[in-house]
């Protein structure tokens, strides 16, 4: 994976890679929480309540700002972002 440039506007490839990394981290955190909610294999379980995460640090802040401006994610406070459900 290419490293994002620290100056100038982020490229389309950088935005795509950052958004993919964000979605993957969110999915993994939700799956991890769901697997720890209940230890009984016959239980119905619960859905994860994680809605906002700290974005991956390997991407610059200007990339997250641009994704928020494009409406793909939104700031949730204290440096966290949440995915906007466009379905």
Instruction: Convert the pLDDT of each residue in 43-67 to its tens digit.
Output: 566 778 899 999 999 999 999 999 9
Please report how many Cα atoms fall inside a 13 Å half-sphere around the Cα of residue 30, on the Cβ side.
16
Count of domains for the chain? 1
Locate tokens 């997250």: which residue?
64
Strands 73-77 and 80-83: antiparallel
Could you tell me if residue 58 is inside a domain? yes
> Which pLDDT score is estimated for 49?
87
DSSP state of 10: P
Could you tell me if residue 3 is inside a domain? no
> Which pLDDT score is estimated for 27?
95
Could you tell me if residue 60 is inside a domain? yes
Could you tell me if residue 6 is inside a domain? no
Could you tell me if residue 57 is inside a domain? yes
> Which pLDDT score is estimated for 75?
96
Phi, psi of 13 (to 5 degrees): -65, -40
Could you tell me if residue 4 is inside a domain? no
Residues of the chain with pLDDT under 50: 1-2, 4-5
Could you tell me if residue 2 is inside a domain? no
Locate tokens 């939104």: which residue?
74
Whole-model pTM: value is 0.80
* Domain housing 68: 12-36+46-83
Could you tell me if residue 68 is inside a domain? yes
Locate tokens 């981290």: which residue?
25
DSSP state of 20: H
């Amino acid at each position: 994976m290419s490293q994002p440039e620290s100056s100038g506007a982020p490229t389309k490839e950088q935005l795509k890679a950052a958004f993919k990394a964000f979605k993957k981290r969110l999915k993994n955190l939700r799956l991890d929480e769901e697997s720890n909610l209940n230890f009984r294999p016959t239980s119905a379980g619960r859905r994860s309540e994680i809605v906002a995460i700290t974005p991956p640090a390997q991407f610059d802040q200007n990339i997250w700002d641009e994704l928020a401006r494009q409406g793909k994610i939104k700031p949730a406070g204290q440096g966290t972002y949440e995915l906007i459900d466009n379905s």
